[in-house]
Amino acid sequence: MTTRLLITLIGLFFFQQKNENVNGWYKSTWGIDRDSISKLFPEATTPQHRDNVDGIYTSLEMRDYDIAGYKFTVAFRMDAKTKSLICVRMTYLAEYPGLVFDKFNEMLTSKYGSPSSKEDNHSYGIDKIRIWSLAKTTIKLEYENNSLLQCVVVHYNMKRDSESSKF
């Protein structure tokens, strides 16, 4: 009986660890402004092309940012109304993106548990998608492989209040 209780408690501890509360990406947290991002990441610069899609724009970016030994472009995406951080998008455009996808899938699964959603052979040139839905953050890993582009994209997105309240 005591052994079974101990095993259950250990299992609950590891489950909680894998579903830890993620409130941003790395040193950043959802809702911070551009100046705060600049202080956290002094190497971040204004992007050459400023986009604005569906009320979200890239405020700052870092090129050739090392993540697990791979060079990514990291884009800090802001809500156009509040001017606050709601998304961080990391893009890897180099050789062997399939291997990089597999490595990041393994790393994210190790940290957050199995993805809540998986798709292979998705449409629009996206071969694979993995999604981890956490309390305050959705993490989306994509492998794009089409005639124009081969890349891995990792999105950390803030969940809106209506999404967070579902948990």
- What is Dmax (Cα atoms) for the chain? 63
Is residue 4 within 8 Å of residue 116, measured between CB atoms?
Answer: no
More confident call, 122 vs 96: 96
**Token pair in block for residue 58:** 């890239």
pLDDT the model gives residue 123:
65
Is residue 143 within 8 Å of residue 98, measured between CB atoms?
Answer: yes
pLDDT the model gives residue 9:
33
pLDDT at 31 > cutoff 60: yes
Which tens digits make up the pLDDT trace of 66-114?
Answer: 999 999 999 999 999 999 999 999 999 988 898 999 999 999 999 999 9
Is residue 138 within 8 Å of residue 157, measured between CB atoms?
Answer: yes
What's the whole-number mean pLDDT along residues 125-151?
89
Q: What's the pTM?
A: 0.81
Percent of the chain past pLDDT 70, that is, above it, reads: 81
What's the whole-number mean pLDDT along residues 125-143?
92
pLDDT the model gives residue 21:
72
pLDDT at 24 > cutoff 50: yes
Predicted confidence band of residue 20 (pLDDT cuts 50, 70, 90): low
pLDDT the model gives residue 134:
95
What's the whole-number mean pLDDT along residues 30-38?
97
Predicted confidence band of residue 7 (pLDDT cuts 50, 70, 90): very low
**Token pair in block for residue 156:** 């950390």
Q: What is the DSSP letter of 157?
A: E
* String of DSSP letters for 79-117: ETTT--EEEEEEEE-SS-HHHHHHHHHHHHHHHH-S-SE
Is residue 97 within 8 Å of residue 47, measured between CB atoms?
Answer: no
Angstrom distance (rounded) from CA 137 to CA 149? 27
What's the whole-number mean pLDDT along residues 9-25?
55
pLDDT the model gives residue 6:
34
Q: What's the distance, Cα to Cα, between the start and end of the chain in Å? A: 32
